[in-house]
Chain A
Amino acid sequence: MSSIATAEVQNGAATTPAVSNADDYRASEHIVRVRGVKRVYKIGEVQVHALRGIDLDIKRGEFMAIMGPSGSGKSTLFNMVGGLDKPSDGTVFIDEVDIAQLDAGELAWLRCRKIGYIFQTFNLIPVMTALENVTLPMIFAGAGVDEQMEKGKRLLETVGLGDRLHNKPGQLSGGQQQRVAIARALANDPAIILADEPTGNLDQKVGEEIIQMLKRLNKESGVTIITATHDDKMYKRADRVSIVIDGEIQAVVPPEQLGDNTVDGFLAQLKEEKDAAAIRDLETAAEVTATNAAITGEG
């Protein structure tokens, strides 16, 4: 039920003072806007509805976690937001640009300059050193060699790998590789960092470090972070959590609302509440009908 998300946005807009025009307000405030997005995959004769109409707004500088069981459409939504996939219906705006309207060159530019990607499996280029991995997006952006080296070193120092510049991914631990990936994601000063289960292949302690690093970046440089996650520690650091089930957003809530529940616990609770609400609705409807009948009867 996407209405929760939409309602929140409307409330937010209403309470913000002195904005002359609602459209202008949205333009400056939301880095990502998803409107009525559907995604249908065709597998042979069967149509799979991965997304069934998603509305979601992500504010500039927000730390947003997307949660959901596997097969919920979470990854599909994530890919849409990252410009890696195009919707079958509906629109995705990244920084007010409808990504469906972009051609390959513009899309590549967007991926290069606006978005930094972090993957569960790190996806570093194995033949390149840490520094070369970090400078790669800068090469694509057409930066000069000196600038690349200087910035690459600085970024690797930021993630605490100043002494590992010339190590290949194979010579680095998982946590170190993920830190190189974070440095690489920051290479062209993106507006958004997309992190797909960034702690999924890491142990608890290292995962925690990565989360703290992302949170720090989010606070210090104001980069928007969107992460798909199963990690309880991760979503608790988020500003808001979107819960996706069966290709629909069930709720967008602050993490406190999830309390001490695990992801699965919360999902179960949510489902229970939803079922209970459905039953209540039925009962209410029955009562209303009964009352109506009574009224009609009296009348």
Chain B
Amino acid sequence: MAAMTSGTARVERQISLPFKQAFRIALRNITIRVGRAMITGAGTMLGIAFLMSVFASNLMLTARGVEPSPAQAQKAAWLVAMSLLVSFVGITNSMLMSVTERYKEIGTFKCLGALDNFIVKMFLIESGLLGFFGSLIGSIVGLLFVIVTNLGFVGAFNWALALLYMLACIVLGTLLSVGAALPPAIRAAKMQAVDAMRTEV
């Protein structure tokens, strides 16, 4: 009789969650909570828009034939640092919120057989998507802003370099977003199922 086999032989290990399924759930979470997602994404968007506009206006100075003075270059670097800080704080805050308000859900996921890494995976995909689209829109907005305010000099504008900056902004925004979501996601995933469900937010 099979029931007589003793020990852990009859327990298998939980398999990993396929990326496609995790992606579907994460996408679902975003599309359903559009308002919430917009707020989270807006944090990234604003920061990246700021950053991109700083890059683009530097390019625009070159297009105008103005060689930035050391003081101006320093100011630009300061602005870049500030905008990075703004996005980082904004993203971390909204990610923290969106994880904590879902503790109960996370507990339920665990009761249904989710491994810790399923939960981390789902949150990272979600934040990655938000970060990607947020920074995509943000970099477009930032670039457009500079172009619209300097329409006369667009002819000499270095589009290739601008595109490269845009790409850098999107990668950076996505990475920041995922990086900011990682600590709260891991903390949530490590919670005992019972504790997570008991948490009232």
Binding site for B on A (CB under 8 A): 24, 27-28, 79, 84-85, 95-97, 101-106, 108-113, 117, 119, 123-128, 132, 136-137, 139-142, 184, 188
When chains A and B are docked, how far (Å) is the Cα of A97 from the Cα of B5?
10
The distance from the CB of A14 to the nearest CB of chain B, in whole angstroms, is 20
In contact, B11 and A125 (Cβ under 8 angstroms)? no
B interface residues with partner A (beta carbon < 8 Å)? 1, 3-4, 6-8, 10-15, 17-18, 21, 28-29, 32-33, 104-105, 107-116, 118, 192-194, 197
Complex: chain A residue closest to B15, CB-CB: A142
- How far is it, in angstroms, between the C-alpha of A104 and the C-alpha of B119 when the chains are bound? 14
Which A residues are in CB contact (< 8 Å) with B28?
Answer: 127-128, 132
B8, A102: Cβ atoms under 8 Å? yes
| Residues in B whose Cβ lies below 8 Å from that of A112 | 14, 112-113
14 A-B Cβ contacts within 8 A?
A24-B1, A27-B3, A27-B4, A84-B194, A97-B7, A103-B13, A104-B115, A105-B14, A109-B14, A111-B110, A117-B111, A123-B197, A127-B28, A140-B112
- B115 engages A184 (CB within 8 Å): no
Chain B residues with CB below 8 A from A79, complex form: 194
Beyond A140-B118, A142-B15: 10 further Cβ-contacts under 8 Å?
Answer: A84-B193, A84-B194, A96-B3, A96-B10, A97-B8, A111-B110, A111-B113, A117-B112, A124-B108, A140-B114
Of the candidates B21, B111, B193, which one forms a contact with A139 in the assembled complex, judged by CB atoms under 8 Å apart?
B21
Smallest beta-carbon distance B119→chain A, Å: 11
- Roughly how many angstroms separate A105 CA and B16 CA in the complex, as a whole number? 9
Docked pose: A112 CA to B108 CA in angstroms: 11
Q: Hey, which chain A residues are within 8 Å of B8, CB to CB?
A: 97, 101-102, 106
Given contacts A84-B193, A125-B105, A127-B28, are A108 and B14 in contact (CB under 8 A)?
yes
**Considering the chains assembled together, what is the distance between the CA atoms of A151 and B157 in angstroms?**
59
Contacts of A132 in B (CB 8 A): 28
- On whether the beta carbons of A136 and B112 are closer than 8 Å, the reply is yes
Knowing A106-B13, A117-B112, A137-B113, the reply to whether A85 touches B192 (Cβ < 8 A) is yes
Report the nearest B residue to A123, measured CB to CB: B108
* CB pair A106 B12 closer than 8 Å: yes
- Cα A99 to Cα B86 in complex, Å, equals 47
Picked from B10, B113, B192, the residue with its CB within 8 Å of the CB of A95 is: B10
Say whether B108 contacts A125, CB under 8 Å. Answer: yes
Q: What residues of A have a CB within 8 angstroms of the CB of B1 in the complex?
A: 24, 28
- Which residues of A are found within 8 Å of B114, using beta-carbon distances? 108, 140
Q: From A95, which residue of chain B is reached at the shortest CB distance? A: B10
7 pairs of A and B residues whose beta carbons are closest in the complex: A112-B113, A108-B14, A105-B13, A127-B32, A109-B14, A140-B113, A28-B3
Inter-chain CA distance A126–B29, complex, in Å, is 10
Whether B12 and A109, one on each chain, are in contact in the complex, defined by CB atoms closer than 8 angstroms, is yes
Tell me how far the C-beta of A165 lies from the nearest C-beta in chain B, rounded to whole angstroms: 16
Judge whether B111 and A24 touch: CB under 8 Å.
no
